[in-house]
Chains A and B, each alone.
Chain A
Amino acid sequence: MTDIIRLSAAQLAEKLRAGELTSVQVTQAYLDRIAAVDESINSFIVVTAEDALATAAEVDRLRGEGAQLHPLAGVPIAIKDVVVTDGVQTTAGSKMLEGWIPPYDATLVEKIKEAKLPILGKTNMDEFAMGSSTEHSAYGKTLNPWDLDRIPGGSGGGSAAALAAFEAPLAIGTDTGGSIRQPGAVTGTVGVKPTYGSVSRYGLIAMASSLDQAGPVTRTVMDSALLHELIGGHDPKDSTSLPEPQTGYVAAAEQGATGDLKGVRVGIVKELSGEGYQDGVQDRFDESVELLRAAGAEIVEVSCPSFEHALAAYYLIMPAEASSNLAKFDGMRFGLRVEPSEGPVTAERVMAATRGAGFGDEVKRRIIIGTYALSSGYYDAYYGSAQKVRTLIQRDFNAAFEKADVLISPTAPTTAFKFGEKLDDPLAMYLNDVATIPANLAGVPGMSLPNGVSDDGMPVGFQILAPIREDARMYRIGAALEAALEKKWGGPILAQAPELEAK
């Protein structure tokens, strides 16, 4: 393994700027790594080597000409396959979209292309981002680089595993109930779900429109800050995007890295601990709290009683929106088309046959739940009540943020579980998102960063939540904790991960 691929994005950017490395060298190093290990990990559905190298060469040429470039220009990136890319197959992990070549770019992809980050390829995920393990991908599961028998988290297991396996220095994820943060936690990487509206959703294949948010998947807090500033900002094509520019995250991370948290109030969410939380997870959490205290933070306990109902509300709102968002996959205009094996070939029957064949079980399960929840006569009891719970959760957050500047919890109650362990038990699978879901329901930003290794040898994640539009606070506290932890470990956590054998 060469040193290039172990550098952080910020370090790579610095070396590119200083002329110590070229983008082609960096991009090639990552492509070589993908070629060596991705057969074992299966992070990527598609690798776009040629395009990546072309962009890299262009960056090197422009830099040679003294052009003004974006700080991340030339640093490669991987993109979750739920994000639409012009001319490159986009499947959202589903058979339904196998071979679909979009005619347009998502806004965040436009920004990445404008800043000239070579795009390495599209990463694997649970079908339509529904799952916590990537076992629901139609393109095979992704493996956890820490232990190939274990899940890499989901839905964005591909992006997180790509970072943990040094197949990419940066990646894009999307997070509807934890799909950036939980994979980050179980792979020892950093993931940020920004404030709802911080990053344009235009070009994200929607699961639940009111919950979906794209964000950075990286190995360091600073790298997330850099990427967040690049992809964030108002987009006239997304009515729900925030009007203000998304800046100040890099500065906040720099401030945090000094290690001084004096005057910062950190709130431990009482409800996100205890029963169901693995000992190793809880221990690492408690140790991290002590590090924050040592850095000068004031630690308080806050209570968010409505969080208890978050999972139930989430599993009504999300499927309700998904059932409608996924209606367009019907074989009429794009993607898979299946004709019924017998009987008349009418549009209605083609739609039914296509949806029957194209969607996996988990997707069907959620469409059925959502359709039911929206049915007349049940709407008030299910969707209506869930929206009320959502309001209560927002109120809990508001009250908690009166007492604390940020809230903290373990990202997930357990470390990575083994393949198949929860595949037949959807409820157990859903419980994995119990700590991440409240942020989506309230629209607040959340970050997961690695804070140690559990007794089972698997990494543990630490979650930081901030008020809406106060994403900068997470970067400050996250960077401070990261600095303290790395000092304690004597290096990044991924140095503790086993070496992958190149196939």
Chain B
Amino acid sequence: MSTNYVELVDYDEAVAKYDPVLGIEVHVELGTKTKMFCGAGVEFGGEPNTQVTPVSLGLPGALPVVNGTAVEYAIRIGLALNCKIAETCRFARKNYFYPDVPKNFQTSQYDEPIAYDGYLDVELDDGEIFRVNIERAHMEEDAGKNTHVGGATGRIQGADHSLIDYNRAGIPLVEIVTRPIEGAGARAPEVARAYVQTLRDIFRALDVSEARMERGNVRADVNLSLRPSPEAPLGTRTETKNVNSFRSIERAVRYEVERQAAVLDAGEKVLQETRHWHEDNNTTSSGREKSDAEDYRYFPEPDLVPVAPSREWVEEIRAALPELPAVKRRRLIGEWGFTDVEMRDVINAGALEIIEETVAAGTSPAAARKWWMGELARNAKEQEIELAEVAVTPAQINELQSLIESKRINDKIGRQVLEAVLAGEGNPEEIVVKKGLEIVSDDGALLSVIDETLAAQPDIVEKVKSGNMGPIGAIIGAVMKATKGQADAGRVRELVLERIGA
């Protein structure tokens, strides 16, 4: 076991002294209908051990069959990462005993991945492009999930028994492995985060995964090592497992830089080991020591035949690839006139598609962004749902915006109408009519309210007349209140001024 250094080296000091090198392994759960090697379903959150077959339970006699859709998705990912696609490749068994692995081997790919030798250009926060070289992307199956009962905080230490849910066992995964990421320097944490974020966006654009970090659809293992200078050979790395949010990726890299720098400064050696990330206190702790003694006894999976995607098929898939996020982002920034920051916020909020649909329905990009990034983003957050799951459609937002732009309602009433739509009371137009929310555009009706208000406040009228426009807001406010907000504030102002004769 390694000593746990609590004394960290200040980050800036650490990166001034050492050159960090990253290596990132990302696992993405594919959004296929069935598992990697059998027909069991893959829905999230089912009752434990209900989405299983003899194959995914590893029962004696059961045999795997490769899910063709998973292969297609893996090829899509490979192509999007500028990889070569193998003309033929095999699955291999990775042998190790663990209760959440039903066969006590994981069916994976070893020396023959389906995709290899690619790269991904990652856009950093300031718009700089950083190229990450991809070593390989391979297919494999997920393990089940252990729940440890009786111990503190669900940990295995101190638990008196464990429960295993095999619903997740056999869900198709693609694992993407980078080559050593050099040259990031002090920006290593940002590069790591931006890389995984870019991958997440690509998975969604390719429609190969829901890619929801909070559900563990995308999981990252972050390898980090330090060396005295960019010319020096690679240092000893640690692998921090299951860092599953963008923020944590950034923090985990930062923490490991600070920790390893402390180890090296103390004249000690960094241990090659697996480390666990602790979300609660933003630290890593030593897991099992990784040594060459760990032997998975890989050998080609004899129950499966090689996967040999024809070149025609690969080209068909390539031709059908959707526009990738980076390209799309550049295009839309031009078309919509958003700033880079605005666009990034939209993407991070998962609002790009829905804003696109709203714009397609006829709303201006600015208005669409205002609705989805404002009221609706708040609503989604309150309900803890995805933006796309909010109970309003792009068409309804467009209808609402049209009502405002044609001045039949104002912004404030617009928000009320939206609430009613969210409450399932109907379409905006319908709600406005039903509730009589339309702006009072009849000057006669407005004038009588204005006259009453002015009569009640002669001193204000005097002030305005004498050129002090300050108190006019109070009069407009009173009129708006009297009309329950259903007046066009601009028109009210015009009429008030006219009446006073200022």
A: residues with CB less than 8 A from B are: 83-84, 90, 92, 97, 100, 102-104, 106, 201-206, 208-210, 236-240, 320-321, 323-324, 327-330, 332-334, 347-348, 351, 371, 374-376, 379, 383
Q: How distant is the Cα of A334 from the Cα of B104 in the complex, in angstroms?
A: 13
Contact between chains at A383 and B60 (CB < 8 Å):
no
* B471 shortest CB reach to chain A, Å: 78
Chain B residues whose C-beta falls within 8 Å of the C-beta of A100 in the assembled complex: 60
Contact between chains at A330 and B104 (CB < 8 Å):
yes
The contact sample of 30 A-B pairs, CB cut-off 8 A, is A84-B61, A92-B60, A102-B54, A104-B54, A104-B61, A106-B61, A202-B63, A203-B61, A203-B62, A206-B61, A206-B303, A209-B303, A239-B63, A239-B66, A239-B305, A240-B303, A240-B305, A323-B297, A324-B95, A327-B105, A328-B58, A329-B60, A330-B104, A332-B99, A333-B58, A334-B60, A351-B97, A375-B295, A376-B295, A379-B299
| Contact A374 to B95, CB < 8 A, known contacts A202-B61, A328-B104, A333-B58 | yes
| Contact A376 to B297, CB < 8 A, known contacts A237-B63, A237-B65, A334-B59 | yes
Contact between chains at A102 and B60 (CB < 8 Å):
yes
- Does B85 belong to the interface (CB within 8 Å)? no
Contact between chains at B102 and A328 (CB < 8 Å):
yes
Contact between chains at B61 and A204 (CB < 8 Å):
yes
Contact between chains at A320 and B299 (CB < 8 Å):
yes
Contact between chains at B57 and A333 (CB < 8 Å):
yes
Chain B residues whose C-beta falls within 8 Å of the C-beta of A83 in the assembled complex: 61
Contact between chains at A239 and B303 (CB < 8 Å):
yes
A372 (CB) vs chain B CBs: closest residue: B297
* A385 shortest CB reach to chain B, Å: 13
Q: How distant is the Cα of A102 from the Cα of B304 in the complex, in angstroms?
A: 23
- Does B302 belong to the interface (CB within 8 Å)? yes
B305 (CB) vs chain A CBs: closest residue: A239
Chain A residues whose C-beta falls within 8 Å of the C-beta of B104 in the assembled complex: 327-328, 330
* A155 shortest CB reach to chain B, Å: 16
B: residues with CB less than 8 A from A are: 54, 57-66, 93, 95, 97-99, 102-105, 162, 164, 292, 295, 297-299, 302-305
Contact between chains at A205 and B61 (CB < 8 Å):
yes
Contact between chains at B62 and A324 (CB < 8 Å):
no
Contact between chains at A328 and B63 (CB < 8 Å):
no
Q: How distant is the Cα of A205 from the Cα of B162 in the complex, in angstroms?
A: 28
Q: Which of A102, A320, A329 contacts B61 (CB 8 A)?
A: A102
Contact between chains at B299 and A324 (CB < 8 Å):
yes
Chain B residues whose C-beta falls within 8 Å of the C-beta of A237 in the assembled complex: 63, 65
Chain B residues whose C-beta falls within 8 Å of the C-beta of A330 in the assembled complex: 97, 99, 104
A383 (CB) vs chain B CBs: closest residue: B299
* A408 shortest CB reach to chain B, Å: 29
* B420 shortest CB reach to chain A, Å: 52
Chain B residues whose C-beta falls within 8 Å of the C-beta of A202 in the assembled complex: 61-63
Chain A residues whose C-beta falls within 8 Å of the C-beta of B62 in the assembled complex: 104, 202-203
Q: How distant is the Cα of A375 from the Cα of B95 in the complex, in angstroms?
A: 10
List 8 tightest A-B contacts by C-beta distance, closest first.
A327-B104, A209-B302, A374-B297, A210-B302, A84-B61, A203-B61, A205-B60, A328-B58
Chain B residues whose C-beta falls within 8 Å of the C-beta of A106 in the assembled complex: 61
Q: How distant is the Cα of A375 from the Cα of B297 in the complex, in angstroms?
A: 5
Contact between chains at B60 and A97 (CB < 8 Å):
yes
Chain B residues whose C-beta falls within 8 Å of the C-beta of A209 in the assembled complex: 302-303
Q: How distant is the Cα of A102 from the Cα of B95 in the complex, in angstroms?
A: 25
B54 (CB) vs chain A CBs: closest residue: A104
Chain A residues whose C-beta falls within 8 Å of the C-beta of B95 in the assembled complex: 323-324, 327, 374
| Contact A348 to B97, CB < 8 A, known contacts A328-B60, A375-B297 | yes
Besides A103-B59, A237-B63, A328-B60, 13 other A-B contacts (C-beta < 8 A)? A90-B61, A102-B60, A103-B54, A104-B59, A208-B302, A239-B66, A239-B304, A324-B95, A327-B103, A327-B105, A328-B102, A332-B99, A333-B59
Q: Which of B63, B93, B99, B298 contacts A238 (CB 8 A)?
A: B63
* B325 shortest CB reach to chain A, Å: 35
Chain B residues whose C-beta falls within 8 Å of the C-beta of A84 in the assembled complex: 59-61
Contact between chains at A324 and B93 (CB < 8 Å):
yes
| Contact A239 to B65, CB < 8 A, known contacts A324-B93, A324-B299, A327-B97 | yes
* B56 shortest CB reach to chain A, Å: 11
Q: How distant is the Cα of A204 from the Cα of B63 in the complex, in angstroms?
A: 9
* A337 shortest CB reach to chain B, Å: 12
Contact between chains at A236 and B60 (CB < 8 Å):
no
Chain B residues whose C-beta falls within 8 Å of the C-beta of A374 in the assembled complex: 95, 297-299
Q: Which of A104, A320, A332, A348 contacts B164 (CB 8 A)?
A: A332
Contact between chains at B99 and A347 (CB < 8 Å):
yes
Chain A residues whose C-beta falls within 8 Å of the C-beta of B298 in the assembled complex: 374
Q: How distant is the Cα of A324 from the Cα of B57 in the complex, in angstroms?
A: 16
B166 (CB) vs chain A CBs: closest residue: A333
Chain B residues whose C-beta falls within 8 Å of the C-beta of A103 in the assembled complex: 54, 59
B64 (CB) vs chain A CBs: closest residue: A239
Chain A residues whose C-beta falls within 8 Å of the C-beta of B297 in the assembled complex: 323-324, 371, 374-376, 379
| Contact A321 to B61, CB < 8 A, known contacts A327-B95, A348-B97 | no
Chain B residues whose C-beta falls within 8 Å of the C-beta of A204 in the assembled complex: 61
Query: Which of the listed residues A205, A210, A321, A333 has the most CB atoms from chain B within 10 Å of its own CB?
Result: A333
Q: How distant is the Cα of A180 from the Cα of B413 in the complex, in angstroms?
A: 83
Query: Which of the listed residues B102, B292, B295, B303 has the most CB atoms from chain A within 10 Å of its own CB?
Result: B303
Q: How distant is the Cα of A240 from the Cα of B60 in the complex, in angstroms?
A: 17
Q: How distant is the Cα of A102 from the Cα of B59 in the complex, in angstroms?
A: 8
B53 (CB) vs chain A CBs: closest residue: A104
Q: How distant is the Cα of A26 from the Cα of B173 in the complex, in angstroms?
A: 53
* A173 shortest CB reach to chain B, Å: 15
Chain A residues whose C-beta falls within 8 Å of the C-beta of B65 in the assembled complex: 236-239
A347 (CB) vs chain B CBs: closest residue: B99
Q: How distant is the Cα of A376 from the Cα of B296 in the complex, in angstroms?
A: 8
Chain A residues whose C-beta falls within 8 Å of the C-beta of B97 in the assembled complex: 327, 330, 348, 351
Chain A residues whose C-beta falls within 8 Å of the C-beta of B59 in the assembled complex: 84, 102-104, 333-334
Contact between chains at A324 and B164 (CB < 8 Å):
no
Q: How distant is the Cα of A333 from the Cα of B303 in the complex, in angstroms?
A: 21
* A109 shortest CB reach to chain B, Å: 10
* B197 shortest CB reach to chain A, Å: 36
* B172 shortest CB reach to chain A, Å: 16
Chain A residues whose C-beta falls within 8 Å of the C-beta of B302 in the assembled complex: 208-210, 240, 321
* B95 shortest CB reach to chain A, Å: 5
Chain A residues whose C-beta falls within 8 Å of the C-beta of B303 in the assembled complex: 201, 206, 209, 239-240
Q: How distant is the Cα of A97 from the Cα of B59 in the complex, in angstroms?
A: 11
Query: Which of the listed residues A84, A97, A237, A328 has the most CB atoms from chain B within 10 Å of its own CB?
Result: A328
Q: How distant is the Cα of A104 from the Cα of B99 in the complex, in angstroms?
A: 22
Q: How distant is the Cα of A239 from the Cα of B55 in the complex, in angstroms?
A: 13
B91 (CB) vs chain A CBs: closest residue: A239
* A382 shortest CB reach to chain B, Å: 11
Q: How distant is the Cα of A180 from the Cα of B397 in the complex, in angstroms?
A: 72
Q: How distant is the Cα of A239 from the Cα of B304 in the complex, in angstroms?
A: 6
Contact between chains at B295 and A328 (CB < 8 Å):
no
* A106 shortest CB reach to chain B, Å: 6
A331 (CB) vs chain B CBs: closest residue: B99
* A343 shortest CB reach to chain B, Å: 15
Chain A residues whose C-beta falls within 8 Å of the C-beta of B60 in the assembled complex: 84, 90, 92, 97, 100, 102, 205-206, 328-329, 334
A238 (CB) vs chain B CBs: closest residue: B63
Q: How distant is the Cα of A124 from the Cα of B69 in the complex, in angstroms?
A: 42
* B48 shortest CB reach to chain A, Å: 13
Query: Which of the listed residues A209, A240, A347 has the most CB atoms from chain B within 10 Å of its own CB?
Result: A347
Chain A residues whose C-beta falls within 8 Å of the C-beta of B304 in the assembled complex: 239-240
Q: Which of A97, A201, A328, A371 contacts B103 (CB 8 A)?
A: A328
Q: How distant is the Cα of A161 from the Cα of B289 in the complex, in angstroms?
A: 54
